[in-house]
Amino acid sequence: IAGNWKMNLTKSEATALASGLQQAASSCSDVQVAIFPPYVYLECVLAAAGSIKVGSQNVSEQPNGALTGENSTDMLLDLGASMVILGHSERRSIMGESSQVVNAKTRRCLEAGLTPVVCVGETLEEREAGNTMSVVLQQCQESLAELTQEDMAKIVIAYEPVWAIGTGKVATPEQA
């Protein structure tokens, strides 16, 4: 079970939520829980999260350099993060990230030892046009291009239908 906090919460709220989630998750030994707070709260959330995996909402495809506002895999590892969300619909649509960029970031994460959580999903228009499977398949093929079976075993694929994000509409288990 993974939760993306997006651009929400204050430092104290993030710490309290992580602590509460850690307490609740400690009684669920058969479930792996991961949380993805805003980058600025990674360190305090990691300290409060205990056994819960903590990841970043994004990472640069570059190892380092003059990239204002970006974060590298080394920075994430240095803080203690273990996972990274890649290809989230907001990054794809608002920030213009292509599946090729997602592929580069996925490779960077794998090289660094971080678990990539690669997001795929269709818009409402694509779903209503009957293109769900072709859209998701194309995103998978391009985002995961040229990865080995060994690489694929280290990746989480998250299906997130764009039409269900923040709209009050929920994908049924059959749709997912």
Catalytic residue IDs: 88, 160
CA distance 160 to 132: 11
Is 89 within 8 Å of 159 (Cβ atoms)? no
What angle is formed at CA 76 by the lines to CA 75 and CA 81, rounded to 5 degrees?
Answer: 155
